[in-house]
Amino acid sequence: MAKHEKSESESSQYSDLSSEEESDTSENDECSEEEKSENDFNTVKIPESDDSSDDNQSVASNNEEDEGVVEDYANSDVEMEKTQLTVRNDLEPEKTSGNIAKIDEYEYDSSDEEDLRNTIGNIPVEWYRDYKHIGYDLEGNKIVKPKSKDEMDEFLSKIDDPYYWRTVKDKLTGQNVILTDDDAELIKRIKKAHYADANYDPYPEFVDFFTYEKMIHPVTNHPETKASFIPSLGEKRAISRLVAKIKRKKHLDLPEVKKPKDDRFNFHYDIWSSENAPSKRLLRYIPAPKMKLPTHAESYNPPPEYLFTKEEEEDWKNTEPEERKQDFMPQKYQRLRHVPLYPNFVRERFERCLDLYLCPRAKKMRANVNPEDLIPVLPKPRDLQPFPTMLSLVYIGHKAAVRSISIEPKGQFFISGSDDCTVKVWEILTGRCIKTFTFENSVSCVSWCPNSEKNICIVSVNKCLYVINIGVGDKIVTNNTDNLFKQLIHEDEKVKDDSVVNWQIISEDKEEAKSKAWKEGIRVIIKHRYEIKQLTWHYGGDYFAAVMPEGGNKHSVIIHQLSKKRSSMPFQRQKAPIQRVLFHPSRPFLFAAYQRHVRIYNLAKQELTKKLMCNCKNLSSIAIHPKGDNLIIGSYDLRLSWFDLDLSNKPYKTLRYHKKAIRQVAFHPKYPLFASASDDGTVVVTHGMVYDDLTQNALIVPVKVLRGHKTIGAEGGVLDCSFHPLQPWVFSAGADSTIRLYA
Amino acid sequence: MGRMKKKGESGAKKAYITRRKAVQKLQVSLKDFRRLCILKGIYPVEPKNKSKVGGGSSQNKTYYLLSDIQFLSHEPILWKFWEFKIFMRKMSRARGRNDREALENVRSNQPFYKLDNIVKERYPTFIDALRDIDDALSMCFLYSRFSKSKYLHVELINICRRLTVEFMHYVIETRSLRKVFISIKGYYYQAEIKGQTITWVVPHQFNLGNFHDADYKVMRTFTEFYVTLLGFVTFKLYTSSNLYYPPKILTIKSEALENDEDDFNEQISDQIAALNQPLLKNSIQIDEDINPDEFDEPDLKQDNQLTFHQLVKFQKLFEGFKFFINREVPRESLVFVIRSFGGLVSWEKTLFPGATFDENDESITHQIVDRDDISNKYLNRYYIQPQWVFDCVNARTLLPVEDYFIGAVLPPHLSPFVEDKEGEYVPPEKIALNEGRSLNLAKEQSNEENEEESEEEESEDEKEIPTNDVKNNQSKEEKEDQEKIKMEVKAGKALKEDKKKIEEREKAEEKRLAVMMIPKKKRRLYDKIMFGKKRKSREVEKLVEKRKVFENESKKLKRQKTK
């Protein structure tokens, strides 16, 4: 119901207001334009404004009536205006002079239009002072100024003209207008501060529209809206807000006083005034490393060497930003004011922020190691002399890589086998080639018999093994050797062709071809089924072994006995091919080297005594210390392992000083030296001292790196090396077809 | 028998926690977690054995210490985050309902956090805070250069500006600046405060505008913390050296501004920002520490550090000089540097408030100009380029002005932060500087040329003599040869062996052999060290080479010009 009441009160207010307006406007007969226009638009207001002549009853009636009547009313309004005008003008004075306007001004003065007798608009009329005309009429013709009276005429008319006092000059048209009685009356009333309209009743009788008495009919016939039955949510909120305010005991009208904010950044006190004990957490706090300090290159005017060259600049631009060594490009500016803003400044700072909170931190002990401390302290090589120090002789003669060399036990000669299908015998001291044996295939291995009583060499050429009486040196020995072979022939002639090996003994007095071979020195030819890779003598000089890795599990090693022309295959079943074999210098042991390990067999007991694990993948060579307790093994994977047979089946020391595969290793029979030849073209001579005292480990000191051989592509560098039996000299055979003696 | 230990219930597995788990545990969003980590200084750690922590998986994860995360869970600021979350919800609700009053109400109760406790907790002592203030300073200097935007609030920018100015004032007052460097990235300054070396970088004087390659939120969180840290540090510094905080300067209130308090305050803050007036000191003397840096640990001073007297002299480097800064010269950095060493500075009044004297002041000794030339010159002052000031500070003496005259080709500006270690490249300018002579390339070249010419002459002479000898010898020999064409035996020359060389060679060989015997364990380390050394020496060689090329080229150019 509240709403209903409200609307009622509003309407009553409205009516009051309108009545007030009435009173205001009615004062002015000529209403202002605004009001007029308002009247036009707001039809309801019409009776209240301009036409004040109507009495209050009409207003009331108008209110009572519905809006449909309004149009008729407007029409009646115009009519009334006209009637009024006629009434006003009936008292028109006589026109005494031509100066007085002939046209009734009210004719043009409609409620909504300007005075259009003169079209100059709203400008000061003085501007036309010097012209004959005063403006233009609607057709555009000049309005000629009426003749102005001179002072005399003025004076006369003052006396003569009875209407002089009510004559007024219209500025626009320049004509005189005589006010009517009504006008005069109006002016008088205004002067007296009365209502302009004499008929206007400022205090009409109050009509109590909404009476206290109950009427039979409702004031309006509208059905009540639904909203009027529902309590207003907005009002409810407003009320609750008010209630809240009252509850908070705040003055309802005053704006809320905001309490001053606690300043976030108020630093006006000393937080470190009381020192607390630092928490335990901080003890393991890892502070972030500080930013890197700038170098000379970062200067705006760096020394010229820090600036990039064109290639460096290109390089810098082409690398990814993360991979750049410097995150900026050094630049030189002539003047400080030329230095531009560094475009990555914000980014760098941001990345620093990221590092600070995202980068995992860990304490890392920086090893501040002096590299000198890492180098082991070894006895000086000078104190470990003698050992070969320099190249003293080069034996030139072979035309292809020299595969193998072997030195005479007395140390006067040596033989070499080469890829050019020859075996040459050299005198060591003179460097002269004494003999050359030519074969039909490249020579893979040569070996001189360790027994100095015999002058025998064995040479392997492809699948054949030649036993040769070299025929150099002491003639008696040569003859004795020959006699030995002759005995062989006499002993028996039975030769099995179907066996794995085929012994062919050459006698002096047979066919020509063979006798030629005899003359050359070849005494026995042993044919094998497979290619022979290595030959090795037993220290006695009677047995020798041939290794054929292709021979499979049964035929890979064959041991020959020269004095009995017998061959035996020690291994019946092998799981892997044997690469090398070696006889123990004093005991009946046979070392069989496989690719990854070495097995030691006791030949007397016919059993496996030990297995050495080499720590390498591809074994290449094996050599034993003359005392028989230490072994060295060279491998294609750069390692040289020293085994102490009493100590362990694992290497006592592994040396990795070669940069390429090791081809051959050798012990010196007298001096504590061993050498290793490698594909990198070097022979490293190492001092390897073995003590009799079992508690003391061997002393291993490299003493010399011998260079000289050229490395030739796939052939390799140094293919074989061997020590002189008496002197501290080492021979090396290279792929560059030379043999070198270092002394 | 004890209980069987189960896998993953103790040890490393329990000591570390992945980031995802940590976020779950704290019940915050990843964003809030990040903010929390930044404010509390919690960083991820690298476990010694990742696969053990990861339960066998070698996936690359970020690990935090569980104890750190537990520590975070007790942080009161966490509540503030939650409060803020609610606040945002309330705001959006009020906004959605278009309830202006409620919005106002909510906004007026916006929660905020203070970081005072965290600063104290992270840096229990003042020295700790000083030690870690490098980043804070750099960040604040950067932030003060930002322009206001949606994400960069004026409040923070203004406070950064204020704090940086205050810090600079402190450095000026205590004369603790030690090194300065103009880099292409910005100005580097190094000060020594309370025995701590503090380095910071200030970008060049440009408006940085908006940046798109960085996350402003991360930067803001960092700055919030840094501002708090720097604020307390500045307060402590000011109070400990008897200065008013906030800084006060001697100002005369002009009549025009007497009524307008705001304008007056603004003017004062401008004056303070000009860095050109000494700060007022508390009249009450506190004998707490007069010069703590000098007397604290005199024994610990290194060789390159200054003695007390040297330091005092260094601090008064520009005392008695009057500098006038032209308007094209970066004002702030130069005023800061000059005033830190006792010089008087001024600039054009229209440029910035706080100018103390005009250009036509006759007592000006140096005018800093960064142009090729200038029309109105006064006779009784040096016109120098700004680099002179910086180079003087780095050299710790007054360098000769001639190299830095207006329009001159400047000698290279070297970084004072590079310490010459053995085996590193030292530019010749630096060597010259260390030896106490100036080396200006342009100048030197002309000198060199003269020298060179003379040298050349000399060398020619020198050459001539032996060549003559040789020629003479040769001619003699030829003659002799011609005389005796028959068979002959020339006298063999004895090959002289330098014993030293042989010894050296032997030693080198010994070393090489010994190196061969380095066991595998140490081998890698040794190789690494040697590799690094080689690389370094290669770089040095490269620089030397480049320098040579440059010098030759410049000589050639000079010659062409003279021709």
- Smallest Cβ–Cβ distance between B185 and the set A269, A342, A361 belongs to A342
Per-residue pLDDT reduced to its tens digit, A434-459: 989 999 899 999 999 998 888 889 99
> Would the pLDDT of A193 be above 50?
yes
Q: CA–CA distance from B68 to each of B36, B45, B80 (Å)?
A: 11, 10, 19
Closest residue in chain B to residue A653, using alpha carbons only:
B519
Average the pLDDT over A691-701 and give the result: 86
Dihedral of alpha carbons B355, B361, B366, B367, sign: positive
Q: Which range of residues forms the domain containing residue B140?
A: 116-293
Residue B323 and residue B177 share a domain: no
Chain A residues with CB-CB distance to B543 below 8 A = 305-306
pTM, full prediction: 0.65
> Would the pLDDT of A73 be above 80?
no
Residue A539 and residue A488 share a domain: yes
Q: Is residue A86 part of a domain?
A: no
Q: Which range of residues forms the domain containing residue A328?
A: 296-349
pLDDT at B136: 95
Residue A437 and residue A314 share a domain: no
More confident residue, A537 or A282: A537
Are A349 and B139 within 8 A, CB to CB? Answer: yes
Closest CA to A317 of A327, A302, A307: A327
Are A295 and B235 within 8 A, CB to CB? Answer: no
Dihedral of alpha carbons B291, B294, B300, B302, sign: positive
pLDDT at A22: 40
Question: Which is it for strands B186-193 and B177-182: parallel, antiparallel or unpaired?
Answer: antiparallel
Residue B126 and residue B264 share a domain: yes
Are A291 and B512 within 8 A, CB to CB? Answer: no
Q: Is residue B558 part of a domain?
A: no
Are A264 and B134 within 8 A, CB to CB? Answer: no
> Taking all residues of chain A, what is their mean pLDDT, rounded to a whole number?
80
- Smallest Cβ–Cβ distance between A380 and the set B113, B414, B510 belongs to B510
pLDDT at A64: 40
Q: CA–CA distance from A255 to each of A251, A720, B98, B101, B108 (Å)?
A: 8, 108, 20, 12, 14
Give me the CATH number covering residue B320: 3.40.50.10190
**Residue where a domain stops, chosen among B370, B387, B409:** B409
Chain B residues with CB-CB distance to A354 below 8 A = 218
Residue A71 confidence class, pLDDT cut points 50, 70, 90: very low
CA A177, distance to chain mean position in Å, is 98
Low-confidence winner among A242-256, A346-360, B209-223, B269-283 (lowest mean pLDDT): A242-256
Q: Is residue B227 part of a domain?
A: yes
Per-residue pLDDT reduced to its tens digit, B491-503: 888 888 788 999 9
Secondary structure of residue A608 in the 3-state scheme: strand
Q: What percent of chain B has pLDDT over 70?
A: 85
Asked if ipTM goes beyond 0.95, one says no
pLDDT at A706: 92
Q: Min CA distance, A371 vs chain B (Å)?
A: 6
Closest CA to A555 of A533, A580, A535, A574: A574
- Smallest Cβ–Cβ distance between B412 and the set A302, A335, A336 belongs to A302
Residue A503 confidence class, pLDDT cut points 50, 70, 90: confident
Q: Is residue A606 part of a domain?
A: yes
**Pairs across A and B, CB distance < 8 A:** 270
State how many domains chain B has: 3
Residue B318 and residue B281 share a domain: no
Residue B133 and residue B237 share a domain: yes
> Would the pLDDT of A732 be above 90?
yes
Residue A693 and residue A570 share a domain: yes
Task: Provide the residue type at B377 as one letter.
Answer: K
- Smallest Cβ–Cβ distance between B184 and the set A339, A700, A703 belongs to A339
CA B122, distance to chain mean position in Å, is 24
Q: Is residue A731 part of a domain?
A: yes
Q: Where are the alpha helices (DSSP H) in A500-543?
A: 512-520
Give me the CATH number covering residue A503: 2.130.10.10
Low-confidence winner among A37-41, B185-189, B313-317 (lowest mean pLDDT): A37-41
b/e map of B474-487 (b: 16 or more CB within 10 Å)? eeeeeeeeeeeeee
Residue B188 and residue B228 share a domain: yes
Residue B283 and residue B150 share a domain: yes
Chain B residues with CB-CB distance to A701 below 8 A = 513, 517
Residue A687 confidence class, pLDDT cut points 50, 70, 90: very high
pLDDT at A191: 92
Task: Indicate the burial class of A500 (C-beta count within 10 angstroms; 0-12, 13-18, 19 or more).
Answer: middle
Average the pLDDT over A259-265 and give the result: 70
Residue B283 and residue B160 share a domain: yes
Q: How far apart are CA A457 and CA A189, in angstroms?
A: 165
Residue A500 and residue A391 share a domain: yes
Q: Is residue A529 part of a domain?
A: yes
pLDDT at B411: 92
Average the pLDDT over B538-542 and give the result: 92
More confident residue, B83 or B58: B83
Q: Is residue A126 part of a domain?
A: yes
More confident residue, B277 or A67: B277
pLDDT at B440: 52
- Smallest Cβ–Cβ distance between B513 and the set A349, A357, A702 belongs to A702
Are B517 and A339 within 8 A, CB to CB? Answer: no
Are B514 and A376 within 8 A, CB to CB? Answer: yes
Per-residue pLDDT reduced to its tens digit, B311-367: 888 999 999 999 999 989 999 999 999 999 999 999 998 888 888 888 888 899 999
Q: How far apart are CA B242 and CA A150, in angstroms?
A: 96
pLDDT at B287: 46
Are A371 and B67 within 8 A, CB to CB? Answer: no
- Best residue in B238, B513, B542, B543 to probe A by mutation, most A CBs within 10 Å? B513
> Would the pLDDT of A25 be above 80?
no
- CA B98-B101-B102 angle, to 5 degrees, is 75
Asked if A330 and A297 touch (Cβ cutoff 8 Å), the reply is: yes
Are B235 and A267 within 8 A, CB to CB? Answer: yes
Residue A613 and residue A519 share a domain: yes
Q: Min CA distance, B260 vs chain A (Å)?
A: 23
Are B120 and A271 within 8 A, CB to CB? Answer: yes
Q: Min CA distance, B412 vs chain A (Å)?
A: 5
Residue A493 confidence class, pLDDT cut points 50, 70, 90: low
Secondary structure of residue A642 in the 3-state scheme: strand
Residue A662 and residue A591 share a domain: yes
Per-residue pLDDT reduced to its tens digit, A90-145: 344 444 444 555 555 555 555 555 567 778 878 888 888 888 888 888 888 888 88
Residue A418 and residue A331 share a domain: no
Q: Is residue A515 part of a domain?
A: yes
Average the pLDDT over A404-426 and give the result: 92
pLDDT at A79: 41
Q: Is residue B470 part of a domain?
A: no
Are B62 and A360 within 8 A, CB to CB? Answer: yes
Residue A510 confidence class, pLDDT cut points 50, 70, 90: low
Bridge partners, B316 (sequence order): none
Chain B residues with CB-CB distance to A642 below 8 A = none
Q: How far apart are CA B324 and CA B377, in angstroms?
A: 12
- Smallest Cβ–Cβ distance between B236 and the set A270, A303, A361 belongs to A270
Q: Min CA distance, A351 vs chain B (Å)?
A: 8
- Best residue in B188, B189, B517 to probe A by mutation, most A CBs within 10 Å? B517
Q: How far apart are CA A16 and CA A23, in angstroms?
A: 11
Are A331 and B184 within 8 A, CB to CB? Answer: yes
DSSP element (H, E) containing A23: helix A2-27
Q: Is residue B71 part of a domain?
A: yes
**Residue where a domain stops, chosen among A179, A195, A220:** A179
Per-residue pLDDT reduced to its tens digit, B86-140: 999 999 999 999 888 889 888 888 888 999 999 999 999 999 999 999 999 999 9
Q: How far apart are CA A234 and CA A236, in angstroms?
A: 5
Chain A residues with CB-CB distance to B134 below 8 A = 290-291
Q: Min CA distance, A494 vs chain B (Å)?
A: 57
Are A295 and B418 within 8 A, CB to CB? Answer: yes
> Would the pLDDT of B439 be above 60?
no
Chain B residues with CB-CB distance to A656 below 8 A = 520
Q: How far apart are CA A177 and CA A174, in angstroms?
A: 9
Residue B142 and residue B193 share a domain: yes
Q: Is residue A285 part of a domain?
A: no
Residue B279 and residue B133 share a domain: yes
Highest mean pLDDT among A363-372, A693-702, B71-80: B71-80
- Smallest Cβ–Cβ distance between B412 and the set A276, A288, A299 belongs to A299
Q: How far apart are CA A642 and CA A634, in angstroms?
A: 9
Asked if A717 and A678 touch (Cβ cutoff 8 Å), the reply is: yes
Residue B319 and residue B269 share a domain: no
- Smallest Cβ–Cβ distance between B206 and the set A265, A272, A341 belongs to A341
Residue A443 and residue A343 share a domain: no
> Taking all residues of chain B, what is their mean pLDDT, rounded to a whole number?
84
Q: Is residue B219 part of a domain?
A: yes
Are B208 and A298 within 8 A, CB to CB? Answer: no
Q: Which two tokens stand for residue A421?
A: 């299908």
Q: Where are the alpha helices (DSSP H) in B274-386?
A: 292-296, 308-315, 331-340
Average the pLDDT over A590-606 and give the result: 91
More confident residue, A183 or A51: A183
State how many domains chain A has: 3
Residue A532 and residue A661 share a domain: yes
pLDDT at A61: 40
Low-confidence winner among A305-309, A351-355, A677-681, B306-310 (lowest mean pLDDT): B306-310
> Would the pLDDT of B8 be above 90?
no
pLDDT at A83: 37
pLDDT at B197: 94
> Would the pLDDT of A322 be above 50?
yes
Largest CA distance in chain B: 126
Low-confidence winner among A68-82, A351-365, A515-529 (lowest mean pLDDT): A68-82
pLDDT at A91: 40
Are B513 and A378 within 8 A, CB to CB? Answer: yes
Residue A700 and residue A576 share a domain: yes
Residue B330 and residue B182 share a domain: no
Average the pLDDT over B186-214 and give the result: 89
Residue A730 confidence class, pLDDT cut points 50, 70, 90: very high
Residue A707 and residue A578 share a domain: yes
- Smallest Cβ–Cβ distance between B44 and the set A341, A360, A382 belongs to A360
Residue B232 and residue B353 share a domain: no
Are B245 and A357 within 8 A, CB to CB? Answer: no
Q: Is residue B471 part of a domain?
A: no
- Smallest Cβ–Cβ distance between A290 and the set B134, B155, B530 belongs to B134
- Best residue in A353, A384, A656 to probe B by mutation, most B CBs within 10 Å? A353
Residue A504 and residue A565 share a domain: yes
Are B218 and A354 within 8 A, CB to CB? Answer: yes
Q: How far apart are CA A605 and CA A603, in angstroms?
A: 6
Residues 6+ apart with CB under 8 A from A735: A401, A402, A709, A710, A711, A712, A715, A716, A717, A718, A719
Q: What percent of chain A has pLDDT over 90?
A: 32
Q: Cβ–Cβ contacts within 10 Å for residue A475, how many?
A: 10
Are B181 and A357 within 8 A, CB to CB? Answer: no
Q: Is residue A48 part of a domain?
A: no
